[in-house]
Amino acid sequence: MSAPLSPFAARLVATGVSLALLAAQAAQAERPTCIHPHDMRTLIRIALPDAVEALADRCKPALPADAFLPNEGSGLAQRFRHEAPVDPARARAAIEAATGQDLSSFASNDTMLTIARGLVDDQIQKRVPLKDCKTVDSMMQFADALPADTVAEAILLAIEVAGPEQTKGLAICRPKDDGADR
């Protein structure tokens, strides 16, 4: 049995997952039963800086002027971009692995990355209620003290703990030799 997530944490996990799910839905493809942790880390690293910027934009009207996101969100996003850059070819490979689709004829690697980043902003604007912005702001202030890869790993672990029941069927592939059943 997986541990329940708070409503905001569930939405945050869903945002990280949305890249894989939306691309699969758009292609009307049967997606894999699980995503390899390396591919999911790449997807999270793609989304992380754009998610921070989108959260800052979404939450600005709901936060006080001295809140973290309106003042430091852009800098945090830029730091995450610098600390954890994503190679466009690796991004394409992760998106293809997550969706089960060969997207080589769809668009260039850079275009795929741009589309994926646009999906992150769209999902945050649609799924993060303004009432959660104070919690979001606190979480981002906490994340500011952590390296980008640590934040990405924490999101990956949250997805694993949540399990496919709370992540629209998304599962992280378990190592073949760990012997644990999901």
pLDDT one-digit tens code per residue, 57-81: 999 999 999 999 999 999 999 999 9
Kindly report the pTM of this predicted structure: 0.76
Number of domains in the chain: 1
- Confirm whether 169 is domain-assigned: no
The yes-or-no verdict on residue 24 having pLDDT over 60 is no
Strand partners, 85: none
Predicted local confidence at residue 152, as pLDDT: 93
- Confirm whether 63 is domain-assigned: yes
The yes-or-no verdict on residue 182 having pLDDT over 80 is no
Predicted local confidence at residue 26, as pLDDT: 47
Residue 141 — φ and ψ, nearest 5°?
-65, -40
- Confirm whether 73 is domain-assigned: yes
Predicted local confidence at residue 169, as pLDDT: 74
DSSP state at residue 35: B
**Full domain range(s) for residue 59:** 7-162
29-54-26 Cα angle (round to 5) = 10
Place of tokens 């600390």: 83
Predicted local confidence at residue 82, as pLDDT: 95
Q: Give me the amino acid identity at 164.
A: P
- Confirm whether 36 is domain-assigned: yes
| Nearest-angstrom CA–CA distance, 41 and 90 | 11
- Confirm whether 180 is domain-assigned: no
Burial of 56 (0-12, 13-18, 19+ CB in 10 A): buried
Predicted local confidence at residue 105, as pLDDT: 81
Predicted local confidence at residue 31, as pLDDT: 64
- Confirm whether 171 is domain-assigned: no
* Mean pLDDT along residues 91-105: 83
- Confirm whether 167 is domain-assigned: no
Q: Is the dihedral of CA 21, 80, 49, 163 positive or negative?
A: positive
Mean pLDDT, the chain, as a whole number?
81
